[in-house]
Structure 1
Amino acid sequence: MATAHAPQRRRGVLLLLLVAAARGGAARPPASAAAPGRYRAVFNFGDSLVDAGNLVTDGIPDYLATARLPYGQTYFGYPTGRCSDGRLVVDFIAQEFGLPFLPPSKAKNASFAQGANFAITGATALDTEFFQKRGLGKTVWNSGSLFTQIQWLRDLKPSLCNSEIPECKEFFAKCLFIVGEFGGNDYNAPLFAGKDLKEAYKLMPHVIQGISDGVEQLIAEGAKDLIVPGVMPLGCFPVYLTMYTDPKEGHGSRTGCLKRFNTFSWVHNAMLKRALEKLCAKHPGARIMYGDYFTPVIQFILQPEKFGFYKQLPRACCGAPGRGPYNFNLTAKCGEPGASACADPTSHWSWDGIHLTEAAYGHIARGWLHGPFGDQPIVQSS
């Protein structure tokens, strides 16, 4: 599985996963007329796909690539801690309901009355100890697992509501909880350690159970509306396409993606959906929705013109030439010397080879809110 110079490549990939930078507070966007007031607040959990700056609220290390432009260039004009050129799915969802961008939960002097973003780059569904027991501690950089993030919510509760009476449950019942994506970093632990994909498959039941347990903990806190996203098609991302260049690797004839990695992602999502169905039956008072990241990314590749993207093989907007045509180079990642951003990020779905562009996140958010990306839209017609 490991390619030549694998240790160097794995270190580079891990650094990419760790990058995030913040240099701005939560901005209040104009309220959308689509569904204002539908929720009193939004609480978001996850990893770098939805991290708005929790990793760097205590300062911005100079070596982090996303501490520099072009991260944040499209919407904010400066890096904000988001691993994209602009807004994320959670930002579009907040705007839909006329809410401010959710402040990172670790932000100083922030108001969390209308929600908080607990997501942090590198997060996993499972706690660090799980990986350490399996000899994977060195390849997991876990800055806040799902359960750690839920504890952060509990720590924040006294500033939100009176937890001694039913006030908190009544408040949370009127909020939206976004739980993930979780799983990507869990599976990267064995993959970036040079192990075969079958080792990642062994983790899958534990990851699914961890996500399920996390959802139940939030329901116990009073959550009624929750959306739980699946994972993206890993085989379509330039980081994996660059890592796994063996000619024997099977690529999709239409997508150019690594077929066995996409199958792996599909299996995770199928297992997650079954777990959510069981939770729906167990908790009939809760509305538990599945958020689809997989289908839209495949559509971005197969039907790019439908979304305003260029028709091309998976290719990072921001990066540098490397192995293959993916514009991804572990020695010149986005934000580092030698890398540059494409002229028009709105024409690409992949931002830096592992995260998406604002344009892509916007399409996904609309699909979650109104359909068709999920088992039911967040916004229900009255």
Structure 2
Amino acid sequence: MHKIDFKKLKVVILALASLALCGRGRWITAWAQCNFPAIYNFGDTNSDTGGISAAFGPIPSPYGESFFGRPAGRYSDGRLIIDFIAENLGLPYVSSYLDSLGADFRHGANFAAGASTIVIQNETIFESGISPFSLEVQTTQFDQFKSRTYDLYQQATDPLDKTTLPRPNEFSRALYTFDIGQNDLSAAVRKLTGAQLEAVIPKMVNRFAMVLTRLYLQGARAFWIHNIGPIGWLPVATLHIRNQKPGLLDKVGCMQRLNRMVVEFNRQLKARVTNLRAELPYAAFNFIDIYSAKYDLISNAKIYGFRDPMKICCGIHESYMDVDVWCGQRAIINYTEVFGGSCGTADTYISWDGVHFSEAANHWIANRVLNGSYSDPPMPISKSCLTS
């Protein structure tokens, strides 16, 4: 009777495990870290690290005051969730693709731009104020970025010329992150009928899926997709509500109609991502329930050490006078110039400026989602290259 060599058997089992995962698109073992070399981000204001600022003019003070000590292209007093993603993965903050000065693209690029939408503007009835940098435009910018990267990398003869360029062979190993859609729904709820809204949501989901497929065909394999947060909470939407109708707000103070549309979009997007896992089997699609994480924070603000979630840190808002001086702006009130400045204690506020989260809130949310607690499949971002 032959003796079993357990050392050799262990080697064979490990090899088979590796081959099984390789068959799903990667040579990686189930217990390994993904070691992403870069992040490529697509989105709106929630993850814009300088796109709109570079395109249309700098964001004023006191934006950026809590962390950067100055405006840093972000609509917050400090870091965004995308910044905490980079920190978690041991990567530098992701430079905006539109920022021509001081940018370093060695470890990725950020194509997000404030007020961006999934569906391009001329295909909707959205009013002015929507960014021209739709998700499709951002993807086209990525196409150009990737092509130019390859050309410049091949042409470079001095190693120093390559220090700020991503490696062409690292695009397939990078993490592709998404946080977009709230501007589509915010504008649609204001402008469309119920029937029109029902038609817009599938169109948004289809466009999103087309972009994911397009990137997959170019070699992208690891996707980290945030659903839309509870935009019915945004204090700007409820600042001066009078004669409140029954059912307008939920028990937390959120606009129920807005949040219902968000929940329906999130349901359809998750179902489509599930289908994409079967259609594109060599990719890892991680669907993040950012809605639930944010709603938990808003619903239990005081338990988590924050103030009333409807309170705004930056700007002047007096409901009884219908006065609004937005963060960083100046206005004349009663013949006196006033400035929409900071409360000075942003770390206790969820809302920074009535529309965007404070750094403290972003940090709280990031801590909850990056460990996999709100992910489908449930795995931390460091392992999100693994297919389920």
- What range is the shorter-chain TM-score in? 0.7 to 0.9
Matching residue of 2:107: 114
Please state if 1:153 is matched with 2:142: yes
Contact 1:139 / 1:189 at 8 angstroms: preserved in 2?
Answer: no
State the alpha-carbon separation in 1 of the partners of residues 239 and 375 from structure 2. Answer: 30
Distance 1:371 1:209, change over 3 A: same
Contact 1:94 / 1:100 at 8 angstroms: preserved in 2?
Answer: yes
Q: CA deviation at 1:305?
A: 4.1
Matching residue of 1:188: 186
Please state if 1:94 is matched with 2:86: yes
Taking the TM superposition and a 5 Å limit, the aligned residue runs for 1:264-343 are: 264-310=261-307, 312-323=308-319, 331-337=324-330, 338=338, 339-343=340-344
Contact 1:291 / 1:368 at 8 angstroms: preserved in 2?
Answer: yes
Distance 1:230 1:343, change over 3 A: same
The percent of aligned pairs where both chains have the same amino acid is: 28
Matching residue of 2:350: 349
Contact 2:64 / 2:70 at 8 angstroms: preserved in 1?
Answer: yes
Q: CA deviation at 1:215?
A: 0.9
Contact 1:42 / 1:177 at 8 angstroms: preserved in 2?
Answer: yes
Structure 1 length as normaliser, TM-score? Answer: 0.79
State the alpha-carbon separation in 1 of the partners of residues 49 and 77 from structure 2. Answer: 12
Please state if 1:218 is matched with 2:211: no
Distance 1:373 1:319, change over 3 A: farther
Describe the SS at the equivalent of 1:138.
Answer: coil
Matching residue of 1:238: 235
Please state if 1:73 is matched with 2:71: no
Letter of the 1:178 counterpart: T
Unaligned runs of 5+ in 1: 1-34, 62-66
State the alpha-carbon separation in 2 of the partners of residues 332 and 199 from structure 1. Answer: 34
Distance 1:74 1:214, change over 3 A: same
State the alpha-carbon separation in 1 of the partners of residues 153 and 104 from structure 2. Answer: 21
Query: What do residues 282-303 of structure 1 show as CA deviations (whole Å, max 9, x unaligned)?
Result: 1121111112221122111222
Bigger CA radius of gyration: 2
Matching residue of 1:104: 96
State the alpha-carbon separation in 2 of the partners of residues 245 and 98 from structure 1. Answer: 48
Distance 1:239 1:171, change over 3 A: same
Q: CA deviation at 1:379?
A: 2.4
State the alpha-carbon separation in 1 of the partners of residues 171 and 329 from structure 2. Answer: 41
Describe the SS at the equivalent of 2:45.
Answer: coil
Describe the SS at the equivalent of 2:353.
Answer: coil
Distance 1:248 1:119, change over 3 A: same
Describe the SS at the equivalent of 1:211.
Answer: helix
State the alpha-carbon separation in 1 of the partners of residues 167 and 216 from structure 2. Answer: 12
Distance 1:357 1:197, change over 3 A: farther
Distance 1:58 1:258, change over 3 A: closer
Matching residue of 2:372: 371
Contact 1:88 / 1:361 at 8 angstroms: preserved in 2?
Answer: yes
Query: What do residues 220-270 of structure 1 show as CA deviations (whole Å, max 9, x unaligned)?
Result: 111111111111112111111136555215255641222222222111111
Contact 1:125 / 1:183 at 8 angstroms: preserved in 2?
Answer: yes
Structure 2 length as normaliser, TM-score? Answer: 0.77
Describe the SS at the equivalent of 2:93.
Answer: coil
What RMSD, in angstroms, separates the aligned Cα atoms of the two structures?
Answer: 2.9
State the alpha-carbon separation in 2 of the partners of residues 289 and 169 from structure 1. Answer: 24
Q: CA deviation at 1:315?
A: 2.1
Q: CA deviation at 1:218?
A: 1.1
Distance 1:58 1:123, change over 3 A: closer
Q: CA deviation at 1:68?
A: 1.7
Distance 1:137 1:374, change over 3 A: same
Distance 1:243 1:148, change over 3 A: farther
Matching residue of 1:57: 54
Distance 1:86 1:277, change over 3 A: same
Contact 1:169 / 1:221 at 8 angstroms: preserved in 2?
Answer: no
Query: What do residues 100-159 of structure 1 show as CA deviations (whole Å, max 9, x unaligned)?
Result: 11111022253312010100112110112212xxxx253452321111111111111134
Contact 1:224 / 1:286 at 8 angstroms: preserved in 2?
Answer: yes
Please state if 1:85 is matched with 2:91: no
Q: CA deviation at 1:202?
A: 3.1
Distance 1:78 1:288, change over 3 A: same
- Aligned pair count reads 332
Contact 1:36 / 1:98 at 8 angstroms: preserved in 2?
Answer: no
Describe the SS at the equivalent of 1:45.
Answer: strand
Query: What do residues 56-109 of structure 1 show as CA deviations (whole Å, max 9, x unaligned)?
Result: 325626xxxxx2211101100111110111001111111112211111102225
State the alpha-carbon separation in 2 of the partners of residues 206 and 246 from structure 1. Answer: 35
State the alpha-carbon separation in 2 of the partners of residues 78 and 329 from structure 1. Answer: 30
Letter of the 1:51 counterpart: D
Describe the SS at the equivalent of 1:231.
Answer: coil
* Aligned counterpart in structure 1 of residue 253 of structure 2, from 250, 253, 256: 256
Distance 1:374 1:230, change over 3 A: same
State the alpha-carbon separation in 2 of the partners of residues 352 and 255 from structure 1. Answer: 19
